[in-house]
């Protein structure tokens, strides 16, 4: 059994190291848990290791809002103090405060 510890937490605002988007963490997989097709679609020279946490993000860039699945090695904490405007945030989180979004409900 692989034991991992996630660096980022639910409700935290993060940004991608290489691509121009940021997002709010709404779920964490302790290691890769997406399809092999999705993984194979990443260029081989930039494919991350599967043995690390992967984060589900409510993401935004200058053009759109979407859900992103990103390895821990490709994220950094966003300390801009700016909220993320993804339209699904109110479904999961309370209002932006002190740089993060509090959960609306307790998870198991």
Residue 100 lies in a domain: no
Residue 96 lies in a domain: no
Query: pLDDT, tens digit, for every residue of 65-104?
Result: 999 999 999 999 999 999 999 999 999 999 999 999 999 8
Q: In terms of residue numbers, what domain contains 84?
A: 12-91
Residue 41 lies in a domain: yes
Residue 105 lies in a domain: no
Residue 55 lies in a domain: yes
The shares of helix, strand and coil residues in the chain, as percent rounded to the nearest 5, are 15, 30, 55
> What pLDDT is recorded for position 8?
97
Residue 37 lies in a domain: yes
Residue 17 lies in a domain: yes
Residue 107 lies in a domain: no
Whole-structure pTM value: 0.91
Point out which residues pair with 68 in neighbouring strands: 57
pLDDT of 23 strictly over 80: yes
Residue with tokens 């821990």: 72
Indicate the number of domains in the chain.
Answer: 1
């Amino acid at each position: 059994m692989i034991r991992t510890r996630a660096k980022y937490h639910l409700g935290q605002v993060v940004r991608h190291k290489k691509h121009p988007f940021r997002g709010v963490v709404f779920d964490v997989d302790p290691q890769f848990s997406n399809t092999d097709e999705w993984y194979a679609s990443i260029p081989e020279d930039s494919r991350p290791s599967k043995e690390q946490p992967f984060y589900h993000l409510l993401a935004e860039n200058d053009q759109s809002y979407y859900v992103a699945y990103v390895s821990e090695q490709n994220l950094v904490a966003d300390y801009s103090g700016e909220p993320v405007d993804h339209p699904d945030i109110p479904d999961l989180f309370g209002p932006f405060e002190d740089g993060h979004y509090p959960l609306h409900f307790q998870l198991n």
